[in-house]
Amino acid sequence: MPKPTKGPRLGGSPAHERIILANLASQLFEHGRITTTETKAKRVRPLAEKLITKAKRGDLHSRRVVLRTITDKGVVHVLFTEIAPKMAERDGGYTRITKIGNRQGDNAPMAVIEIVSETVEESRKAKAKASGSKAAPKAASKPAAKAAKPAKEEAAAEVVDVEADTVATDEPVATEAVEAA
């Protein structure tokens, strides 16, 4: 007996839903990121992550299992040779969904789903910096306020110098353009 899937149904029938999700996953692997509705992004995420996990194995059986879902051999080749090696150290969380607001025509909530490009090491360093930067401003807030006033004056002087350099360099470029014509 057919059981209904969790979440909203995409398309009209279960077969149409499978085709929609397979096409979304294929486009995600081909382009690295796609813009779609939030519902479709949430529904394609588990499929894409399962396919990446299969691709990380790298054997022939896994390739054939992925080819059942994604029929484009070029996309499967990209998945196995480019995407899977980048995700070798990552245990999951291969994709990221970012909400971007509503579509203008029908006010549908839109999202960008993308393959995470940074490595596990970089994400750990970023988390450490974020936690370290939250604690650092509390301790150094008073000395920073005293040093901020002279820094503002220096920054204003640098802006004036940069503008003067820009004006000086624009004139010779303009004469060279006239001579070339």
More confident residue, 46 or 160: 46
Among 50-54, 119-123, 165-169, the range with the most confident prediction by mean pLDDT is: 50-54
91 and 74 within one domain? yes
Question: Is residue 141 included in any domain, yes or no?
Answer: yes
Let me know whether 31 and 99 are in one domain: yes
Residue 164 — very low, low, confident or very high, per pLDDT cuts 50/70/90?
very low
pLDDT at residue number 75: 97
Query: Percentage of the chain surpassing pLDDT 90?
Result: 56
24/153 Cα distance (integer angstroms) = 53
Q: Are residues 108 and 154 in the same domain?
A: no
DSSP string, 47-68: HHHHHHHHHHH-SHHHHHHHHH
Question: Which residues are 112's β-sheet partners?
Answer: 35, 98
Q: Are 113 and 32 in contact (CB under 8 A)?
A: no
Total structural domains within the chain: 2
80 and 64 in one domain? Answer: yes
In a shared domain, residues 103 and 130: no
Residues 92 and 150 in one domain: no
According to the model, what pLDDT value does residue 11 have? 82
DSSP assignment of 116-156 equals --S-HHHHHHHHHHHHHHHHHHHHHHHHHHHHHHHHHHHHH
Q: Is this model's pTM higher than 0.85 or not?
A: no
Q: What range does the domain containing 25 cover?
A: 14-117
Greatest mean pLDDT among 77-86, 115-124, 134-143 = 77-86
For 68-95, what is the mean pLDDT?
A: 94
Question: In this structure, is residue 109 part of a structural domain?
Answer: yes
Q: Which CATH number covers residue 92? A: 3.90.1030.10
Give the confidence band of 167 by pLDDT, cuts at 50, 70, 90: very low
pLDDT of residue 135: 55
Compute the mean pLDDT over every residue in the chain, rounded to the nearest whole number. Answer: 80
Residues 92, 154, single domain; the answer is no
| Residues 120-144, mean pLDDT to the nearest whole number | 65
Instruction: Indicate if 138 and 159 belong to the same structural domain.
Output: yes
Domain limit, last residue, from 117, 136, 163: 117
pLDDT, position 13: 84
Q: Check residue 128 and give its pLDDT.
A: 82
The Cα–Cα gap between 70 and 3 comes to 24
Model confidence at 71: pLDDT above 90 = yes
Residues 98 and 124 both lie in one domain = no
> Domain end: 117, 132, 164, which one?
117
Last residue of a domain, one of 117, 132, 165: 117
Whether 9 is in a domain gets the answer no
116-144 burial, b if ≥16 CB within 10 A, otherwise e? eeeeeeeeeeeeeeeeeeeeeeeeeeeee
Check whether residue 99 and residue 72 sit in a common domain: yes
